[in-house]
Amino acid sequence: MRQSRKDQRGATISCAYASWKSCFSLIHDKSIVLALLVVFLGVLHCKESPGQNFRRAGQEFAFLRPIELPGGTGGTIGVVEFYHHGQIDPQGRNVIVAAGNDLVPVRILQLGPGDFCRLAFQVTSARSPYEILYGGPALPDDRRPTWTSEDGLLLEVREYRDCNLNSFESVKAAFESSRPLGADYVSGVFHAGHPFPGPPGPYMSRYSGMLHIAQTGVYGFYTSSQDCSFLLIDGKVVVSAPGRHPPSYQARPGLRKDIQFTAGAHRFEYYHAATTEVGIAVAAWEVNPKGDQPAPAVIPGEAFRANLIMRGRAGPPMSPAQRFLPDFEFVIVGEVPLPDRDLPLLAVRFTDKSPPPLVSSAKIEWDFGDGQTSQGLAVDHVFLRPGVFTVKETVTRAGRPFEIAQRVWIGSPRTQQKGKPLQLDDLLPVLETYQPEKLDAQSLLQFVTAFLTKADQYLPPPPPNTVFVDEEEAKASSAADKLDDKTREAERRKYLQKALDAAVLGLEKGQQKGDQDILAIVRNVAPIARNYFADSKKALGLWTTASERLETSEAKLEAYLNIADICLNDLVDVATAKDWLDKAATMVGGQGRQDALAALYQRLMGDYWAAKGDQEAAIKAYREAERLVADRRTEIERTAWRGAHSRSVEQFLKSGELDRAAAELRLWLDEFPGDTIEGYLPLLSGKYWFARQRYEVVCALADRMLIVNPYSPYIEELLLLSARSDVARGQPERAKATLESLLKDYPGSPFVGEAKELLQKLGTGKP
């Protein structure tokens, strides 16, 4: 059929990109290239040229992408995937495929996640190249050609809906009423896991098509699935695996169902429901089976005429006002899991696929939709969590920006990584360029966790024969194991500092929301500031900033109590601590609360009353705190754990591992707050603070202990430590008073000799 001149003009645009690409591949002279670029840029700034035609079936479309089909003939269905930059409506009513000025039958297979679109179209005998037109108002249904092809095997996946997994009718009804997630043509019935990208979860699937039987005979069918599956031929269930169960990994006798087939086309359907994202579905057959010994084989794709499905490629987008627009592709390179986190880090490579004239000598900028940016034709990026992100590429040429933004799903790669799996070290060069203040709360938590994970790699290896250490893991060597202790500790300190700095900057300068993620960040990082770097003010700042971001009263209560704890026990700021305790008191709610936060509140009130000199109130609060946590273990277990805590603190203080001593002391306090009354816990706390040269805290601990339990067997040693602290902080008169009180009130103490010796030095002025 002859094309009109108008139709010929409409077809010319599909050749434009190929023509420019061909020209640039042939031209090597730089002067000629520059001249052509000048002409080309003039075209870019022009309105629609007479050769551009975005009107089909009486309607104008906003964008056009040419389709490149593989060479050769014989295909009946083309499948193409592209991103529509927010231009296709949720029902896919404003997208068509045209050959010249004629529309061809289209089947929208998948829209989403994000701006992803997969569609199929029937390949006709038209000579004109195929083009996707999309955007703008919906095309009326009566202008759309009807889909007629029955070639290929179509896999459809939908959201899981509760149903009776033992009933085919129930499973079918649930599938047909559920929301579609995706579809594609496949070569056979086989999948493991969720077949399409997107958030993990349970799902339902259906395979459908025409099964072409070449010869009349007996055919035996198998199904193996997790969970239920039903295989139908010509509307009748042939073989099934109903219910909730794992797959059958062996073809046992009795699983095969034989039927007599006549040559020709038969309707094929396969329904499957997976109650988790780990679903598996397989269908196989035997042609003219011999005996009962199973010998299943894959149903060949040719039986579904899968060889007639062609995979096309969508070219860069064009619009009536702009012949060429930016375009890009991306590939999820791999993932790196983080310890104790469900979300992995995801490495992605973005590559510009814009027309060469557009990007030659141009500036290429990327905004990844997570607060981070980059530059270059091909860039690597690390997404800190899965999700849909709006990725924008901007091409700036001659001072004029050309941009395109696509909402893309970033998740675990669908195929297994080839070669050596990615390691955290592979991602750190990218992560270290990030601006934490631009991350959301969940991503900031992942970011901080990544640095903490790296810091943990520099922990010294466990000693031999350590209980609860995996032997294989202990044997495995890492780069950190080959470092000397000083270098290893320096590296660990570096990454702990990075985690701390990221959390501080992110929370102070960012706009994060989400109580659980914010709390997780501060729970992980505030102890590093407080225990490892002995920076209580920075830990206080983290909790204070968090308290301003938190929304629920439960989350605020945790922040208020931690702020009060730091003020009272690290900074010895009793008045400020009381203000925060008063705020917390309105949330604790009297005697009805029986959890860990209520115990922490009571323990802090014990510290407060001890600081204020009220013995009765202090002891009452400590005992109430102990009551709230006492039911967690038996008395034998409690005794064993007390001993474990005390011995651990002693060892850490002896070896100079002050951060581990601090962490153990605080764990001890949380689990056994009543031990404050007995005295050994305060004594070891005093030794810790003395080693940190925080002498004012040591003195405060001694003063409180005199109030709470002046008869503690550990009070004399704590008083002596307090006197030494007074000397160290330049208060000799207070030290003398403490020593004189020790000699007077505890004349039989084993520390009398040391007290007299120190008192004599103070009297003579000798150090």
Dump pLDDT digits (tens) for 457-479. 998 765 554 444 455 555 555 55
Peptide bond into 340 cis (omega under 30): no
Residue 2 pLDDT > 70: no
Q: Name the more confident of 307 and 48.
A: 307
- The three-class DSSP label of residue 367 is strand
Confidence of residue 322 (pLDDT cuts 50, 70, 90): confident
- In what order do the strands lie in the sheet containing 345-352? 328-336, 345-352, 378-383
Is pLDDT of 365 > 70?
yes
Model pTM greater than 0.75?
A: yes
Phi, psi of 172 (to 5 degrees): -60, -45
Spatial strand order in the sheet of 106-111: 106-111, 116-122, 77-83, 309-311
Helix locations, 363-440, DSSP H:
424-431
DSSP 182-247: EEEEESSSEEES-SSSSS---EEEEEEEEEEESS-EEEEEEEEEES-EEEEETTEEEEEE-SS-PP
pLDDT at 29: 40
Per-residue pLDDT band at 48 (split at 50, 70, 90): very low
Residue 597 has pLDDT above 70, yes or no: yes
pLDDT of residue 28: 36
Residue 6 has pLDDT above 90, yes or no: no
pLDDT at 691 over 50: yes
Give the side-chain half-sphere CA count within 13 A for 732: 10
762 against 374, higher pLDDT: 374
Sign of CA dihedral 586, 590, 593, 599: positive
pLDDT at 41 over 50: no
Q: Which CATH number fits domain 635-764: 2.60.40.2580, 3.40.718.10, 1.25.40.10, 1.10.3720.10?
A: 1.25.40.10
**How, if at all, do strands 59-60 and 378-383 pair?**
unpaired
Q: How far apart are CA 455 and CA 527, in angstroms?
A: 14
Residue 329: in which H helix or E strand, if any?
A: strand 328-336
Output the CATH code of domain 153-304: 2.60.120.1560
What pLDDT is attached to residue 7? Answer: 40
* Other CB atoms within 10 A of residue 269 CB: 19
Mark out the alpha helices in 208-359 (DSSP H runs): 356-359
For the segment 550-555, the average pLDDT, to the nearest whole number, is: 95
Name the DSSP class of 481. G
Is the Cβ–Cβ distance between 444 and 436 less than 8 Å?
Answer: yes
The C-alpha atoms of residue 593 and residue 554 are separated, in whole angstroms, by 12
Q: Report the chain's mean pLDDT, rounded to a whole number.
A: 89
* Domain boundaries defined on the chain: 8-143, 153-304, 326-434, 635-764
Contact predicate 735/723, CB 8 Å: yes
Instruction: Report whether pLDDT(223) > 50.
Output: yes
pLDDT at 324 over 90: no
- For residue 693, what pLDDT band results from cuts at 50, 70 and 90? very high
pLDDT in tens, 229-255: 999 999 999 999 999 999 988 877 778
Find all residues with CB under 8 Å of 115, minimum gap 6, and list them.
83, 84, 85, 86, 88, 406, 407, 408
pLDDT at 413: 87
| Whole-angstrom distance, CA of residue 275 vs CA of residue 263 | 37
Q: Is 43 exposed, middle or buried (0-12, 13-18, 19+ CB in 10 A)?
A: middle
pLDDT of residue 253: 78
Of 136-150, 189-203, 406-420, 740-754, give the lowest mean pLDDT range. Answer: 406-420
pLDDT of the residue at 630 = 80
- pLDDT of residue 174 exceeding 70, the answer is yes
> Percent of the chain, pLDDT > 70?
89
> What share of the chain has pLDDT > 90, as a percent?
79
527 has a pLDDT exceeding 50: yes
- When pLDDT is averaged across residues 757-762 and rounded to a whole number, the result is 91
CA angle 262/265/270 to nearest 5° reads 105
Q: Is the pLDDT at 704 greater than 50, yes or no?
A: yes
Q: Which of 250-264, 302-316, 361-375 has the lowest mean pLDDT?
A: 250-264
Range with lowest mean pLDDT among 60-74, 308-322, 465-479: 465-479
- Whether 22 has a pLDDT exceeding 60, the answer reads no
Instruction: Please determine, for residue 34, whether its predicted confidence score (pLDDT) is greater than 70.
Output: no
Rg value, the chain, Cα? 36
Q: What is the DSSP string of 51-118?
A: T---EETTEE-SEEEEEEPPSSS---EEEEEEE-TT-S-TT-TTEEEEETTEE--EEEEEE-STTEEE
What pLDDT is recorded for position 42?
Answer: 38
59 vs 104: CA distance, rounded Å: 15
Q: Tell me what pLDDT residue 251 has.
A: 79
Query: Each residue of 422-446: b (16+ CB within 10 Å) or e?
Result: bebebbbebbeebebbbbbbbbbbb
Burial of 588: CB neighbours in 10 Å, binned 0-12, 13-18, 19+? buried
The predicted model gives 623-650 an average pLDDT of 88
pLDDT higher at 9 or 531: 531
Give the tokens for residue 518.
């914010």
Instruction: Supply the pLDDT for residue 743.
Output: 94
The pLDDT of residue 204 is: 97
Whole-number pLDDT of residue 72? 66
* Residue 538 identity (one-letter amino acid): K
CATH of domain 326-434: 2.60.40.10
User: In which band, very low, low, confident or very high, does the pLDDT at 290 lie, cut at 50, 70 and 90?
Assistant: confident
Least confident residue range of 66-80, 420-434, 528-542, 709-723? 66-80
Check: CB of residue 604 under 8 Å from CB of residue 568.
yes
Closest CA to 621 of 632, 634, 610, 635: 610
Q: Which two tokens stand for residue 34?
A: 């520059």
pLDDT of 49 strictly over 60:
no
417 pLDDT tier (thresholds 50, 70, 90): low
Mean pLDDT across 717-725: 97
> What is the average pLDDT across 630-650?
87
* Structure tokens that stand for 383 in this block: 């997404």
Residues found in the chain: 767
Reported as a pLDDT band with limits 50, 70 and 90, residue 37 is very low
